[in-house]
Amino acid sequence: MNVPHEYEKRYKFDFYSYRRRFKYPLSTSHGDWYVREGIILRLSDENGQVGWGEIAPIPWFGSESLEQALDFCRQLNGEITLSNIDNIPSILPACQFGLESAWESVIAHPYLSYLCPSTPLTYSFLLPTGKAALEAWQIAWNQGHRTLKWKIGVANIEYELKLFEQLTQVLPPSVKLRLDSNGGLSRQETHQWLQVADSSGIIEFLEQPLPPEKFKAMLEMSHQYSTPIALDESVATLDKLESCYQQGWRGIVVIKPSIAGSPKRLRQLCQQWEIDAVFSSALETLIGTKAALKLAGELSKCDRAVGFGVNQYFDQDFNIDCEQGERAREIRVTLNN
């Protein structure tokens, strides 16, 4: 077989795990999240060209665990080829994303950006969960955000519906609000939320009301209300996205590129199907964020805000597992640019 040279070219591969504390825990129906852990990747070729990537798994959301990703990085023994990258199994979607985007960044030359026209993006701002949203929306509004997102399914529904009513009274009518229960509602609660959402007129969509195993129920309900349902956990990886599509889902899907899997396959799927996608953060560092936003810019087809308004959640502080002074400095510069 005539293997193209580029496919077997060896890159030096280094990786550094990191821990990053949230300023305040991110509360979802899965529980409270305190520390974001992930892996920074560095590829370099023999000409000294360097590229960066990030593996930012969310195991409770459907990706591999940090330990699985670290095992994968270790067994590479400091070296990788494009052929290795193309053969990462789909049970390691965050590894696929991290390594493929690191490879794209090492081969990227400035002139390549002409080939990838990018849609200008608007951002959705993640409000704090619960009552704090009643004040925090003003900060977002003053920063120019017009799409806001609020987590529900965390406290009991009577309380949350009451808060929602207060929220709709203070929000300017031009705001679009996304509700996200992370699969934490019952069927009956989903009907309740869809009813109030329909009558409020400010809900852009209700995200993942039921857990992924209740797919049929969500598909049915998506035809019963004018408020759309968006799938998120159900389509966490590209394998799952394909499966939902094949079972008839044509509605909105949230794509978190960092855990979805291979960017190459994501591009193929988006070309093959008309996908109404909302691109969203997996709370990765700036390295993963840039790669994810690049994909969002390439692949966003409609004017939906991307879910990357999450900087307010992080401390500047980073804990990077890197002893070498020079390299540690290099990583910090990359993380801040």
Give catalytic residue positions.
151, 256
180 vs 284 by CB, closer to Mg ion? 180
**Nearest-angstrom CA–CA distance, 292 and 160:** 32
CB of 282 to Mg ion, least distance (A): 10
Query: Which of 109, 110, 103, 104 has its CA nearest to residue 11?
Result: 103
40 vs 231 by CB, closer to Mg ion? 231
Q: Which residues bind Mg ion (CB under 5 A)?
A: 180, 207, 232
**Nearest-angstrom CA–CA distance, 238 and 90:** 8
**Nearest-angstrom CA–CA distance, 195 and 175:** 19
CB of 182 to Mg ion, least distance (A): 6
Report strand pairing: 79-81 vs 147-151.
Answer: unpaired
| Contact status, residue 148 vs residue 124, Cβ threshold 8 Å | yes
Query: Which of 128, 135, 168, 170 has its CA nearest to residue 151?
Result: 128
Query: Which of 51, 88, 37 has its CA nearest to residue 237?
Result: 88
CB of 230 to Mg ion, least distance (A): 8
| Contact status, residue 23 vs residue 3, Cβ threshold 8 Å | no
SS3 243: helix
154 vs 322 by CB, closer to Mg ion? 154
CB of 181 to Mg ion, least distance (A): 8
Could you tell me which residues are beta bridge partners of residue 32? 27
204 vs 207 by CB, closer to Mg ion? 207
CB of 283 to Mg ion, least distance (A): 11
Which residue has its beta carbon closest to Mg ion?
232
Which residues have a Cβ under 8 Å from the Cβ of 278 and sit 6 or more positions away? 124, 230, 252, 253, 254, 255, 304, 305, 306, 307
105 vs 300 by CB, closer to Mg ion? 300
